[in-house]
Amino acid sequence: MRSKEIPPNLNEDQIKFWLANTDLTKEELVKWYSEFYEYARANSGGLDKDSFIKFFSKLRHKKKNSDDFFKLAFNAFDKDNSGTVDFPEFIVAFNIISNGDLKKRLEWMFEVYDLNNDKIIDRQEIQTIVKAVLKMSKKKLVGDQTDETKINELFENLDNNENNKITEDEFVENCMNNVFMREILSPDI
C-alpha cells in the first residue's frame, strides 16, 4: 500500500482529529495506521504485549535490547487496561514521546515507571525500570558503581522529601533540572 492511500477502515474525520492533536503529517498518520494494523489484525485491531514489542521495535529499530523497556512502556500505552493497545492509545502516547515537550515526555515516563499505578514510584519500581533502561541504552557505569548503587543514587536524588516515595512532581522537576538524571530516566526511545 502506498502511504497516500487511505485504508478503508480509516476515515477523514479520524485523520483530521489526529492531525489536530499530534505533530504528525497526514502521510505519517496513514503510514503508521497501516503498519499498526498489519501487527494488530490477529488481536481484533489492537496490539497485545508481544505484538506491541515487535511493532515498537520496528519503529525504533535503532534500539537493541529494548524488549524489557517496551514491556514496561506497554502498560503506559494501554490507557484503558484492556490488555491491548489500540491505534488511538498508540498514536497519542507515541506523539508525546516523539514530539512532546520535555515536561510532557517526563510526565509520560513517570507513568511508565509507576508500575502499579498508585501515583508514586517506589524503590522497587525504580530498580525495575533503571535496569531495563541501562540494558537498552548500553550505558556503562563508571568506577566502582553497580546497578544497585546507581539506583540508590537516583532514588535519593529524586526523593526530595525523603519519604521513600517519588511523586510525579518530584520526578518531573528533578529530571528537568538535572541532565544526567534525565538521560538515564528519560531515554530517547
Output the pTM of the full model: 0.75
* pLDDT tens per residue across span 46-84: 899 988 888 887 776 555 667 778 888 888 888 888 999
**82 and 70 in contact (C-beta within 8 Å)?**
no
Cell of 12: 477523514
Cell of 34: 497501516
- pLDDT at residue 5, rounded to an integer: 66
Q: Exposure of 52 by Cβ count < 10 A (0-12 exposed, 13-18 middle, 19+ buried)? A: buried
pLDDT higher than threshold 70 for residue 8: no
**150 and 141 in contact (C-beta within 8 Å)?**
yes
* pLDDT tens per residue across span 111-160: 888 988 899 999 999 888 878 877 776 666 667 777 788 888 888 989 99
First to last CA, the chain: 27
CA 166 to chain centre: 19
Average pLDDT score over residue span 29-54: 84
Q: Which CATH homologous superfamily contains domain 101-189? A: EF-hand (1.10.238.10)
Class of domain 12-100: mainly alpha
Identify the three-state secondary structure at position 132: helix
Q: Please, where in the chain does CATH 1.10.238.10 lie?
A: 12-100, 101-189
Q: At what angle do helices 123-137 and 102-113 cross, to 10 degrees?
A: 110
- pLDDT at residue 173, rounded to an integer: 94
- pLDDT at residue 122, rounded to an integer: 93
